[in-house]
Amino acid sequence: MRVLRRFRSLPIRSRLALLVAAAVAFAVAAVSVTCWFIVERKLYEQVDESLGSQRKSLPYPVVENALNNCGRAPKASSNDYRGQSDSYAQVVQADGTICAFEGSRGIVKVADSDKELAKNAKLGAVTIRNGTDSDGNDVRVMTTALVANGVPNTMPSTRVLYEKMAFVVAVPLKSTEATLNDLSLVLLLVSGIGVVGAGAAGLAVARAGLRPVDKLTEAVEHVARTEDLSIRIPVEDDSEDEVARLSRSFNSMTSALANSRELQQQLIADAGHELRTPLTSLRTNIELLTRSEETGRPIPPADRKALLSSVKAQMTELAALIGDLQTLSRSDAGQSGDRIQVVDLQETVEAALHRARLRGPELTITADLQPWFVRAEPSALERAIVNILDNAVKFSPEGEAIDVILKAGELTVRDHGPGIPSEELPHVFDRFWRSPSARALPGSGLGLSIVARTVQQSGGEVSLQPAQGGGTVATLRLPGAPTPPPELGQDGAKGQ
């Protein structure tokens, strides 16, 4: 665990270099070990083939000479019948007695498998193993049944199998082991060079690959240090790797933050501008009332009543403006998942219509509503519909009609007022924007902004268009369904 924690604390470049080196080391080790075993197998196959070439019937006199030399060191011979002066040749009896052939290089230590084969000697029996000679040198040993030919008083081609005896022939493994040792050194050297080279290459690749990440890190640190959101990471248009995607995400994030900051600053500036007028008027009126009390010169009752009415109207205007700002700030922060519910749009419109009829009793408001269920924040959605209806009530002449239709998720509110000039339509949903013709009317210029933000966050869209014959048509489109989801009852609440 300590090693793992220390590894995680290393810089990412070092970790990548170590991982690459480890991967290469594993691969090189696997290849080297495989190569070594393949070469070892091939070399031993060659040795075994050399031993197998000596698996034949022996001249009877040679065998008899060996049997007469049991228990003694091999005699030197200038006539080596095997053709290999560096090999071992001996007879092993079932009890383990060794009878060396003339010219044998030495004595090979007897194994249990040799004695077992001698005890149960039969033609074709053979064992191959590694062993040692009497001096401790490694040898490759082949043991077969002892067969002699050319037995006296018989035909020269007669072959005789000696019972309870085995023929052992062996060759030294010094040259084979030397070759394998040299191969091991070469493979070890190559592996070491490969691992070191892989580590260096991994470090170089990590530096080259993480260079865009370094730029991204510098950009993030610059933003944290200076709060400058104008910085951008250059990204090639055709690049689709992870770093490019991360850079594009960073650029998108900084752009969104810059836009959000700009909107916040604009909101603060606009709010300050809108608050200045009622506050100034309110302060003036209060100062007049205060000065009247201090000087003892009372204001005429009619003027005092007008001042108090003005103060009350200004306080109402301030409260409405602050409420709109709070609603707009909640919309900017996004809707909370806890407040999102399945809303019966028909009921919401009916509630908003009730409020609109109270505010415009002199108007005729007709409604044709069909069921429709949407996912939204109930209070925010009702506030948006109320704003649309208030806008229609505000600009409708006395005695005119307002037509409200809800069909297949599309809510239309048509008034018969003066309408909106075409050049003003692109600005109607801007914050604090008010038509020159409507600046004398009460309002903060935030109502339609709240409508647009609420509808957009509910996945819908809203628009204002001139109506045929005069007036304006406000259209809200909200995704949903004519029936509530299965888990909800008809009243919009979850079934028990």
What distance in Å separates the CA atoms of residue 46 and residue 40, rounded to the nearest whole number?
Answer: 10
d(CA 121, CA 115): 10
Residues of the chain with pLDDT under 50: 80-84, 336, 440, 488-496
Distance between CA 368 and CA 483 in Å, rounded?
Answer: 17
Distance CA 304, CA 323 (A): 28
Task: Answer for the pair 406, 372: CB distance below 8 angstroms, yes or no.
Answer: yes
User: The tokens 């008899």 sit on which residue?
Assistant: 64
Torsion of CA 359, 361, 365, 371, to 10 degrees: 60
Q: What is the pLDDT of residue 24?
A: 82
Instruction: Give φ, ψ of 105 to 5 degrees.
Output: -65, -25
Q: Mapped to the 3 state alphabet, what secondary structure does 340-403 carry?
A: CEEEEHHHHHHHHHHHHHHHCCCCEEEEEECCCEEEECHHHHHHHHHHHHHHHHHHCCCCCEEE
d(CA 153, CA 171): 35
Q: What is the CA radius of gyration of the chain?
A: 52
Residues in contact with 377: Cβ distance below 8 Å, sequence separation at least 6, in sequence order: 335, 336, 339, 340, 341, 454, 457, 458
pLDDT in the model for residue 492: 46
Q: How far apart are CA 263 and CA 449, in angstroms?
A: 13
Q: How many CB atoms lie within 10 A of CB 99?
A: 21
Q: Do residues 86 and 80 make contact, with C-beta atoms less than 8 angstroms apart? A: no
Instruction: Assess contact for 93 and 63: CB atoms under 8 A.
Output: no
Q: Mapped to the 3 state alphabet, what secondary structure does 4-54 carry?
A: HHHHHHCCHHHHHHHHHHHHHHHHHHHHHHHHHHHHHHHHHHHHHHHHHCC
Cα torsion at 133, 139, 144, 146 (round to 10°)?
Answer: -40
3-state secondary structure 59-71: EHHHHHHHHCCEC
Helices (H) and strands (E) in the chain, counts: 10, 14
pLDDT at residue 85, as a whole number: 55
- Per residue in 128-176, pLDDT (tens digit) is 999 998 888 999 999 988 887 766 655 555 677 888 889 999 999 988 8
| pLDDT (0 to 100) of residue 317 | 65
Which among 220, 227, 132, 224 has a CA at the least distance from the CA of 170? Answer: 132
